[in-house]
Amino acid sequence: MRGKELTVVEALKVRVVPESSCDHLLEFLRLYRDAVQMVANRIWSLNERLSKKKLHELFY
């Protein structure tokens, strides 16, 4: 990865969300954000270069 910058892209598809379920969607998005942040913090704290394979193992 020399000379390249690591970029993380996330996408979430939602077809139709009834008005009454907005609270559920917001709660899901908060939980998802927190989970991704927890993984990112863990990887950041390792202080080592990781292969794509190792990153995949850490995420899943």
Number of domains in the chain: 1
pLDDT digits (tens, 9 = 90+) for 37-51: 988 888 888 888 888
pTM above 0.75, yes or no: no
pLDDT digits (tens, 9 = 90+) for 11-34: 666 666 566 667 888 889 999 999
Give the pLDDT confidence score for residue 50 in this predicted structure: 84
Give the pLDDT confidence score for residue 54 in this predicted structure: 84
Nearest CA to 8 out of 53, 59, 47 is that of 59
- Please count the helices (runs of H) and the strands (runs of E) in the chain: 2, 0
Q: Which two tokens stand for residue 4?
A: 């390249």
39 is in which domain, residue-wise?
A: 22-59
Is there a domain that residue 31 lies in?
yes
Which residues contact residue 50 at a Cβ distance below 8 angstroms, ignoring those fewer than 6 apart? 43, 58
CB contact at 8 A, 39 and 31: no
Give the pLDDT confidence score for residue 36 in this predicted structure: 87
Is there a domain that residue 47 lies in?
yes
Is there a domain that residue 10 lies in?
no
Is there a domain that residue 40 lies in?
yes
Is there a domain that residue 13 lies in?
no
Residues 19, 26: Cα–Cα separation, whole Å: 12
